[in-house]
């Protein structure tokens, strides 16, 4: 169970994407944090100046004042404020520049698993706290050392001033001397101990009487450090917080910090005096901070930063000595489903078990790292000199990993099964850097996922070309949103009498160079990058604007149901029902005319969440339909639980309904099931008179397809509806 913070830490989120800010805001508030939002870099800087947040989440790519400028300003003004870069750009140079400027951590949008964000926030807040405590501790130590040293010096001088004051000075000196927590020492210029405080026993386990007359330097574990200390004292006359290793009473090395001064008399005699303290706890705290900076807080594996360091080192070694290596990028299939359905606690335990199994599958000199929510990397360095042998070795390790991860994992009362998608890239291929090697592995991993998951794929140059094309599409898609290149087409839905009874809104992208692009090409990229959220909001806004307009015209008599498709990412946003209600209110659209189409996968992924959201839409009057019904789960158990309105028969069944008996039986069953549950049925993909006749004969009352009309831009669609209203009969062709 994740512990909530004892006090509210203030977190500032700077991102020009409202949906991202809202999702972070809602999620972090659930865990007890106070969240401020800034829609751009300038507002972010102003909020930082006025509110002094405990941690900042900042996007890199923002108009006018970008994330790097915000980062530079914050680091200059408050270097102890942790900054986590959360950005949709995967360009490694941006990562490196952000880290060089002083970013504490880096995360890539979209975040499939917001628990990764929570762990990053907790880790960096803890690191910030330790850093501040360490600095305060050192400052307190220096002040106390100065105080105590000054007091001791004054007491010592007072003892020499007059015999009359000797007793009083001795008493004062002895009181300070005996109560010291640090160890006061005084040695002659040859290092022989003239005085040392009793606190040496509690600090190092030595008795004062045993050390008097001995050489202090003989207790040093590193003679060269004595030489360095003595040289510094001879040159400058003093040292502060000089770290050495001193042997304790058991002969063990203990880290100590020395603050001392050297005095030389005209006759050449003199002394060195000062204090030292055991700093074991301080060194442990520093080591902990260092470890946290380079390791994953959940699994204790190396994180992305340490992986890139080791990969860069492996590349240099490979190029210098001719060794070859391999990098395996591993993504866990279906992890999000397990995490969402069973909870983050089970998900965290699962990730820890996966980390252990991965570590057991490789050599001790290899590296296993966790670089994201459910993404792991295995780095095999110095595998050999022969490319084919290296490839065989890497594939063997990948198969071993597949086998180990395929074994059931028992967590609490759950027996879980997990499979990996593994991308492999060999190095060095050309003159690529560590970031390029990691991108190649990522590209190969996506190919493994595309191959049906639980697969292994090697990186090939053609894959990178495809990845570059997707990156170019992502860049163009961002421009498409800002430059209003998206279009909403509509395909009519026809009732049994042949009249238009509704429509489905279908997204198109009017690219300035490539023309009209269908959603099957760009929606996957939009979902991977998080752009689906602003796109989905635009679709809803546009559809509701048109519903409001059509309702005021004769078109409203025909268009009583206008549906739009909802992405799984969009539907799973906690604020999605509120967003729909806000858009309906803003556009003054009739909620009863709006339909939301979901796929079966979205519905079954988290039935409880789906039921809650559907209840919200039902209360508004919005209709819910299951798109492409019959291709997924098609289970009565979930259909009975959900407040649905419409089932849409998938075009793949309608296409051969008159030739294939199995398809005909499926269609008949869907219609009967819908009738039993009191649901409306719409058949998609109707293209022939025979298909229409079959559907009518079997009780389907609404249809959609090329037989009636192709998807049309708004103006042509409006004309089609008006013409259909005049004829009051079905068109004879598409």
| Contact present, 593 and 622 (Cβ < 8 Å) | no
Q: Which two tokens stand for residue 666?
A: 């499926």
Say if residue 595's pLDDT is above 90: yes
**Rounded CA separation 331/370 (Å):** 10
Say if residue 241's pLDDT is above 70: yes
**Rounded CA separation 379/369 (Å):** 8
Write the pLDDT tens digit of every residue in 421-461.
999 999 988 778 999 999 999 999 988 887 778 888 988 76
* b/e burial code for range 247-284 (CB count within 10 A of at least 16 → b): bbeeeeebbbbbbbbbeeeeeeeebbbbbbbbbeebee
**Rounded CA separation 630/582 (Å):** 33
Q: Is residue 627 exposed (0-12), middle (13-18) or buried (19+ Cβ within 10 Å)? A: buried
Superfamily classification of domain 1-112:
Response regulator (3.40.50.2300)
Say if residue 168's pLDDT is above 60: no
- DSSP state, 302? B
How far from 66 is each of 2, 59, 473, CA to CA, in Å? 33, 8, 22
> What is the structure's pLDDT at 3?
46
> What is the structure's pLDDT at 421?
94
- Give 315-320's long-range contacts (Cβ < 8 A, gap of 24+): 315/427, 315/428, 315/432, 315/433, 315/434, 315/437, 317/381, 317/382, 318/381, 318/382, 318/427, 318/428, 319/428
Superfamily classification of domain 485-722:
EAL domain (3.20.20.450)
DSSP string of 565-605? E--HHHHTSTTHHHHHHHHHHHHT--GGGEEEEEEHHHHHH
State the average pLDDT for the chain: 87
> What is the structure's pLDDT at 389?
82
Short-list 605, 538, 534, CA closest to 568? 605
| Contact present, 421 and 455 (Cβ < 8 Å) | yes
Q: How far is CA 93 from the centre of its chain?
A: 18
In the chain, count of helices (H) and strands (E)? 27, 26
Q: Which residues lie closer than 8 Å to 37 by C-beta, 6 or more apart? A: 12, 13, 21, 22, 25
**Rounded CA separation 234/247 (Å):** 24
Q: Which two tokens stand for residue 315?
A: 């590349």
Write the pLDDT tens digit of every residue in 528-582.
788 999 999 999 999 999 999 999 999 999 999 999 999 988 998 999 999 999 9
> What is the structure's pLDDT at 619?
93
**Rounded CA separation 183/169 (Å):** 20
Say if residue 299's pLDDT is above 70: yes
DSSP string of 382-404? EEES-HHHHHHHHHHHHHHHHHH
How far from 88 is each of 334, 357, 475, 673, CA to CA, in Å? 23, 31, 11, 44
**Pairwise pLDDT comparison (663 vs 711), residue with the higher score:** 711
Say if residue 176's pLDDT is above 60: no
> What is the structure's pLDDT at 464?
59
**Rounded CA separation 651/682 (Å):** 10
Q: Which residues lie closer than 8 Å to 215 by C-beta, 6 or more apart? A: 187, 190, 191, 192, 193
Short-list 677, 681, 672, CA closest to 629? 681
Does domain 295-459 fall under CATH 3.30.70.270? My reply is yes
> What is the structure's pLDDT at 228?
86
> What is the structure's pLDDT at 371?
93
Write the pLDDT tens digit of every residue in 377-409.
999 988 878 888 888 888 889 999 999 998 999
Residue 499, φ and ψ in degrees, nearest 5: -95, 150
DSSP string of 406-453? HS-EEETTEEE--EEEEEEEEE-SSS--HHHHHHHHHHHHHHHHHTTS
**Owner of token pair 């022969």:** 386
| Contact present, 347 and 298 (Cβ < 8 Å) | no
The mean pLDDT value for 43-51 works out to 93
Write the pLDDT tens digit of every residue in 89-128.
666 777 788 888 888 888 888 887 888 888 889 999 988 8
Least confident of 411-415, 465-469, 528-532: 465-469
Domain residue ranges in the chain: 1-112, 141-283, 295-459, 485-722
**Pairwise pLDDT comparison (47 vs 182), residue with the higher score:** 47
DSSP string of 502-543? EEEEEEEEEETTTEEE-HHHHHHHHHHHTTHHHHHHHHHHHH
The CATH class for the domain spanning 141-283 reads alpha beta
Short-list 539, 609, 538, 600, CA closest to 577? 609
Short-list 649, 726, 639, 631, CA closest to 691? 649
**Rounded CA separation 306/293 (Å):** 9
Per-residue pLDDT band for 469 (boundaries 50, 70, 90) equals confident
Say if residue 170's pLDDT is above 60: no
Say if residue 73's pLDDT is above 50: yes
Q: How many C-beta neighbours within 10 Å does residue 318 have? A: 18
**Rounded CA separation 227/58 (Å):** 48
Give the angle subtended at the CA of 331 by the CAs of 330 and 336, to the nearest 5°. 160
**Rounded CA separation 127/138 (Å):** 17
The mean pLDDT value for 713-728 works out to 91
Phi-psi region of 202 (alpha: psi -120 to 50; beta: other; left: phi over 0): alpha
């Amino acid at each position: 169970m994740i512990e909530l913070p004892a006090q509210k830490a203030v977190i500032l989120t700077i991102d020009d994407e409202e949906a991202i800010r809202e999702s972070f805001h809602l999620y972090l508030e659930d865990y007890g944090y106070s969240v401020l939002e800034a829609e751009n870099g300038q507002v972010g800087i102003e909020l930082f100046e006025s509110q002094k947040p405990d941690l900042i989440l900042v996007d890199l790519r923002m108009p006018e004042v970008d994330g790097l400028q915000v980062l530079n300003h914050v680091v200059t003004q408050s270097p102890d404020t942790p900054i986590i870069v959360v950005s949709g750009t995967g360009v490694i140079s941006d990562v490196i520049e952000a880290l060089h400027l002083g970013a504490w951590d880096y995360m890539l949008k979209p975040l499939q698993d917001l628990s990764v964000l929570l762990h990053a926030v907790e880790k960096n807040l803890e690191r910030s706290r330790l850093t501040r405590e360490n600095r305060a501790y050192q400052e307190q130590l220096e002040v106390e050392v100065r105080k105590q040293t000054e007091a001791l010096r004054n007491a010592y001088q007072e003892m020499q001033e007059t015999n009359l004051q000797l007793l009083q000075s001795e008493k004062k000196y002895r009181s300070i001397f005996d109560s010291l927590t640090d160890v006061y020492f005084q040695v002659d210029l040859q290092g022989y101990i003239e005085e040392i405080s009793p606190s040496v026993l509690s600090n190092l386990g030595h008795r004062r009487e045993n050390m008097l007359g001995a050489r202090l330097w003989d207790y040093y574990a590193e003679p060269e450090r004595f030489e360095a200390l003595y040289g510094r004292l001879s040159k400058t006359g003093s040292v502060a917080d000089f770290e050495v290793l001193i042997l304790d009473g058991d002969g063990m090395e203990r880290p100590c910090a020395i603050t001392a001064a050297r005095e030389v008399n005209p006759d050449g005699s003199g002394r060195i005096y000062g204090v030292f303290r055991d700093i074991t706890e301080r060194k442990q705290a520093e080591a902990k901070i260092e470890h946290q900076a380079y390791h994953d807080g959940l699994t204790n594996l190396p994180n992305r930063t340490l992986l890139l360091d080791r990969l860069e080192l492996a590349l240099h070694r490979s190029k210098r000595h001719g060794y070859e290596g391999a990098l395996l990028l591993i993504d866990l299939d279906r992890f999000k489903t397990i995490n969402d359905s069973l909870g983050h606690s089970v998900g965290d335990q699962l990730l820890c078990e996966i980390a252990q199994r991965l570590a057991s599958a490789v050599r001790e000199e290899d590296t296993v790292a966790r670089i994201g929510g459910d993404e792991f990397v295995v780095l095999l360095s110095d595998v050999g000199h022969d490319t084919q042998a290296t490839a065989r070795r890497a594939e063997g390790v990948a198969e071993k990993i597949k086998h180990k991860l395929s074994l059931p994992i028992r967590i609490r009362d759950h027996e879980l099964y997990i499979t990996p998608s593994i991308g492999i890239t060999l190095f060095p291929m050309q003159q690529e850097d560590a970031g390029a090697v990691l991108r190649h592995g990522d590209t190969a991993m996506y190919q493994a996922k595309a191959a049906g998951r639980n697969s292994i794929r090697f990186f090939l140059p053609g894959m990178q070309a495809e990845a570059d094309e997707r990156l170019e599409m992502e860049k163009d898609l961002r421009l498409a949103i800002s430059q209003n290149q998206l279009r909403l087409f509509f395909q009519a839905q026809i009732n049994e009498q042949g009249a238009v009874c509704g429509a489905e809104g279908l997204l198109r992208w009017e690219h300035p160079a490539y023309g009209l692009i269908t959603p099957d090409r760009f929606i996957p990229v939009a979902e991977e990058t998080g752009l689906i959220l602003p796109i989905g909001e635009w679709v809803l806004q546009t559809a509701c604007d048109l519903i409001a307009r059509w309702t005021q015209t004769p078109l409203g008599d025909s268009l009583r149901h206008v549906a739009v498709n909802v992405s799984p990412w969009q539907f799973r946003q906690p604020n999605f029902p509120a967003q729909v209600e806000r858009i309906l209110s803003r556009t003054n659209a009739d909620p009863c005319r709006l339909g939301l189409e979901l796929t079966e996968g979205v519905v079954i992924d988290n039935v409880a969440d789906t039921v809650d959201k559907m209840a919200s839409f039902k209360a508004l009057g919005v209709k819910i339909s299951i798109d492409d019904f019959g291709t997924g789960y098609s289970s009565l158990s979930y259909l009975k639980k959900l407040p649905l309105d419409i089932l849409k028969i998938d075009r793949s069944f309608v296409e051969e309904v008159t030739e294939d008996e199995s398809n005909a039986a499926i269609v008949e069953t869907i219609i009967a099931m819908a009738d039993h549950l009191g649901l409306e049925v719409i058949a998609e993909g109707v293209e022939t008179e025979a298909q229409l006749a079959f559907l009518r004969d079997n009780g389907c009352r609404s249809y959609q397809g090329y037989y009636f009309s192709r998807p049309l831009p708004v103006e042509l669609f409006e004309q089609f509806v008006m013409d259909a209203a005049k004829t009051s009969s079905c068109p004879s062709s598409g």
